[in-house]
Amino acid sequence: MQTFDALVVGAGPAGSSTAFHLARGGASVVLADKARFPRDKPCGGGLTGRALKRIPVDPSPVVERDVDRFELRLRYGSTFSRTHDEPLIRMTQRRRLDSFLAEHAAEVGAELRDGARVEALELDRTGVTARVGADTVRADVLVGADGANGVVARSAGLVDGIVRGVALEGNAPLHALSGDLERTAVIELAVVPGGYGWVFPKGDHANLGVGGWGSEGPRLREHLARLAREHRLDPGTLTDIKGHRLPMRRLGTPAGTGRVLLVGDAAGLVDPLSGDGMYEAFVSARLAATAILAGDLPGYTRALSATLDRHAAASWAAKRALDRYPRTVFAAARAPGVFDVVAGLLCGDVAHPADARGAARGPLKLIARLAG
């Protein structure tokens, strides 16, 4: 039986980044994924400015477009757009991004095993024994980076406190869409309860998607078809249609127990408002690796809450406000200065809407009050 300091289950952004930091810190680590890479993952593939500040390696080789313009629309009606002076989101395809990150983890010393499902987990006081593909592996620490439907959280009894949203996406040739989309992300507000619709430009195609509360699952195809039609596309021409869960943790929910830590979607770290999760995947990866290298596993959940909960609380509040009072929130978002704060939040330069100064303070306070 092979032994390691850590077994990381899942080589998405959270797992590969955790393995990267652990290996760089001198730990022996096996990074296992049941899929053979390159593999796809239902995702807009947008790396926000704040994710770019936390990603362990420069993703430029797999970036297909930079977005510096947002177009926001309410119920497929009123529209406004704003442009920022630097990229707000860098667009990737997860098939390429995830392989890139996993390869970098392997380069710094993590043992990457793709096509190796992790199962038969046996947790005890000093670590874990598991089947990794055809092998049996022993490790001192188990990191669950196995995403929204992972086995690690279930095995460790860490499944409570997560709200499960859903999203569905598809692709269309970029030239089939009207308007200047090359540097623009379109956000369609109040078209799905508990979420929104989006159109993101990629290299040769656009990614269209809808996400919302878990209860919207049965209606997502209808929502996606409407989004396509509103962009003058025949829904029947969308390709690669895929759905996936968006796990959103309630504040204070533990992300570890005993010798087990959860990172990324496995810990339910998707942002409740934006539905993005790669920033949180990178942040949690860094914090988990730091806790493991320092031998302070209980410190991980504390560090995670200290880093993410203030922002997550603001996201939950804005989500509630948008769900209840979409027109007022849309009008507030349009007010002078507000988009600069949104851009600051996206880029990680503003930690919380309450930190905003100037003209944006009033409209942002209004959104906070509407959340109740």
Q: Which residue from 5, 140, 216, 265 is in contact with ligand FAD, where contact means CB under 6 A?
A: 265
Question: Residues 6 or more apart from 352 whose CB is under 8 A from it?
Answer: 310, 311, 314, 345
d(CA 65, CA 110): 30
Could you say whether residue 150 binds ligand FAD (CB under 6 A)?
yes
Q: Which residue from 197, 256, 264, 272 is in contact with ligand FAD, where contact means CB under 6 A?
A: 264
Nearer residue to ligand FAD within complex by CB, 245 or 320: 245
Could you say whether residue 256 binds ligand FAD (CB under 6 A)?
no
Q: How far is CA 105 from CA 206, 246, 279, 303, in A?
A: 29, 25, 18, 23
Residue 217 beta carbon to ligand FAD: minimum distance, rounded to whole angstroms:
12
Stretch that binds ligand FAD, among 145-153, 182-190, 291-299, 319-327 (CB under 6 A): 145-153
- Within 45-84, the residues that bind ligand FAD by CB under 6 A are 45-46, 51
Could you say whether residue 272 binds ligand FAD (CB under 6 A)?
no
Could you say whether residue 118 binds ligand FAD (CB under 6 A)?
yes
What ranges make up the beta strands (E) of the chain? 2-9, 29-32, 46-48, 63-67, 69-74, 79-83, 89-92, 111-113, 118-124, 127-132, 135-144, 162-173, 184-189, 196-201, 205-212, 239-249, 256-257, 260-262
Nearer residue to ligand FAD within complex by CB, 127 or 264: 264
Could you say whether residue 209 binds ligand FAD (CB under 6 A)?
yes
Tokens at 1, concatenated = 């039986």
Q: Is the peptide bond before 38 cis (omega within 30 degrees of 0)?
A: yes
Tokens at 318, concatenated = 């804005």
Question: Which residues make up the interface to ligand FAD (CB under 6 A)?
Answer: 9-15, 32-35, 41-46, 51, 117-118, 145-147, 150-151, 167, 169, 209, 244, 246, 264-266, 270, 275-278, 281
